[in-house]
Structure 1
Amino acid sequence: MSTAITTPAAATPQPKLTDDACRIASNTESTYGSTGLTGLTGLTGSTGSTGMAGTAYGAPRTGIVERVGESRPVDADIVIPVYNEQEQLAESVLTLMNHLASSQIEGWAYTWQIVIADNASTDDTWAIASRLASQYPGRVRAVRIARKGRGRALKLAWGESRAKVVAYMDVDLSTDIHQTGTLVGTLVYGFADVAFGCRLFDDSEVTRSAKREFISRTYNGMLRMLLGASFHDAQCGFKAMTASAARHLLPYIQDDEWFFDTEMLLLAQATGMRMYVFPVRWVEDPGSTVNIPDTVRKDLKGMWRMNGTLNRMRVAATA
Structure 2
Amino acid sequence: MNHPLVALPVPAPPSPPHHEEPVLDLAVPVFNEETDLEPSVRRLHAYLRETFPYPFRIIVADNASTDATPLIAARLAAELPEVEWIRLAEKGRGRALRAVWSASSAPVVGYLDVDLSTGLAALLPLVAPLLSGHSDVAIGTRLAPGARVVRGPKREAISRCYNILLRCTLSVGFSDAQCGFKAVRRDAAARLLPLVRDSAWFFDTELLVLAERAGLRIHEVPVDWVDDPDSRVALLSTALADLRGIARVALSPARGALPPGRPPRPYAVPAAALALAHLLLYAALRPAAAGQVANALSLLACWTLAVPVRGRLPWPAPGAPPALPALAARLALTAGALAVLRHTVPAAGLRAELAALAAAHVSLVVARSALRGWRRRTGSAAS
TM-score range, shorter chain: 0.7 to 0.9
Contact 1:69 1:134 in 2 (8 A): no
Q: Which aligned pairs between 1:42-191 and structure 2 lie closer than 5 A?
A: 66-70=12-16, 73-104=21-52, 109-137=53-81, 139-191=82-134
In structure 1, what is the equivalent of residue 332 of structure 2?
none
Indicate the residue corresponding to 1:216 in structure 2.
159
The answer as to 2:254 corresponding to 1:312 is: yes
Q: 1:252 to 1:70 in 2, by over 3 A?
A: farther
Residue 69 (structure 1) shift: 4.0
Deviation at 1:313, TM superposition (A): 4.7
Q: Distance in 1 between matches of 2:185 and 2:149?
A: 27
Q: Residues 252-307 of structure 1, C-alpha deviation per residue, up to 9 Å, x if partnerless?
A: 10000000000000000000001100211000000000000000000000000000
Whether contact under 8 Å (2:21, 2:55) holds in the other structure is no
- Which 5+ residue runs of structure 1 have no aligned equivalent? 1-64
| Equivalent AA in structure 2 for residue 77 of structure 1 | D
Question: Displacement, 1:66?
Answer: 4.9
Name the amino acid aligned to 1:68. Answer: P
> Deviations along 1:57-88, whole A, 9 cap, x unmatched?
xxxxxxxx953343973100010000000001
Equivalent residue of 1:268, what SS?
helix
8 Å Cα contact 2:122/2:221 also seen in 1: no
Partner of 1:260: 203
* Aligned match of 2:244: 301
CA distance in 2 between counterparts of 1:259 and 1:207 reads 23
- CA distance in structure 2 between the aligned counterparts of 1:89 and 1:112, rounded to whole angstroms: 19
| SS of residue in 1 equivalent to 2:129 | helix
Distance 2:121 2:189 in 1: 24
User: What per-residue deviation string (whole Å, max 9, x for no partner) do you get for residues 188-233 of structure 1?
Assistant: 1221100001001132100001000000000000000110010111
Counterpart secondary structure, 1:236: coil
The alignment partner of 1:234 has SS state of: coil
| Cα gap change, 1:143 to 1:243, in 2 (>3 Å) | same
Corresponding residue pairs, total: 247
Answer 1 or 2: which has greater strand percent.
1
Q: What is the TM-score when the length of structure 1 is the normalising length?
A: 0.75
Asked if structure 2 preserves the Cα contact closer than 8 Å seen for 1:110 and 1:185, the reply is no
Question: Percent identity between the aligned chains?
Answer: 45
Cα deviation, 1:95-153, whole Å, max 9, x if unaligned, reads: 0111101003xxxx32100000000000000000000001123x000000000000000
* Unaligned segments of structure 2, at least 5 residues: 1-10, 261-383
1:205 aligns with 2:148: yes
8 A contact 1:69–1:142 mirrored in 2 = no
Residue of structure 1 in register with 2:226 after alignment:
283
Structure with the larger RCO, 1 or 2 (CA within 8 Å, 6+ apart): 1
Q: Distance in 2 between the 1:201 and 1:215 partners?
A: 16
Residue 249 of structure 2 contacts residue 255 of structure 2 at CA under 8 Å; is this kept in 1? no
CA 1:217–1:313: 2 relative to 1, 3 Å: closer
Question: What TM-score, normalized to structure 2?
Answer: 0.62
